[in-house]
Amino acid sequence: MTEMFRLSDYRKKKYRQRIFFDRRELRQLMDLYSRRVAMGEWKDYAIDQYGPICVFSIFRHSFDQPLFAVAKRAAGKGCDYAVYSGRQQLKRGRSMAEALAVLEKQIRLV
C-alpha cells in the first residue's frame, strides 16, 4: 500500500534542523581568511552543512586535509561556535569573534 506525505510538513521538519552562517558571520570569516591568504598561509576554503551544524573549513593546500574548521551549532535559542584543528578543539564561544580570536595572529615588527 502507498503512504502519502504532505510535502509542506516534510520541508518544515527538515528546514528546522538546518543552520547556516549569516552575512555578518561570513564577513568575519572572509576578513580573516583574506588576510591570511594575502600572507600566503592559506589557499582554499569550503563551506559544508551537516544538518544542525555548519562548517567553514580552511585549507593550506587545495588537496590537503583542513588546517582549521570553524563550526556553528544551534544551542538552545542561540548558537555555539567552535574552532577545530583536526580533531582537537582549540576554542569554543558564544560569539563568532570570541571563537575566531584563537586564529588571529599578533602583528610583529620585522
Domain assignment of residue 84, given as a range: 18-100
Which segments of the chain are extended strands (E)?
44-50, 53-59, 68-75, 78-85, 88-93
Please state, for a pLDDT cut of 70, what percent of the chain lies above it.
81
Domain-located, residue 107? no
At 70 the pLDDT is: 96
Domain-located, residue 63? yes
Total tally of structural domains belonging to the chain: 1
Domain-located, residue 29? yes
Report which of residues 80 and 63 the model is more confident about: 80
Domain-located, residue 36? yes
Domain-located, residue 7? no
Which pTM does this prediction carry? Answer: 0.79
Nearest CA to 80 out of 70, 91, 95 is that of 95
At 52 the pLDDT is: 87
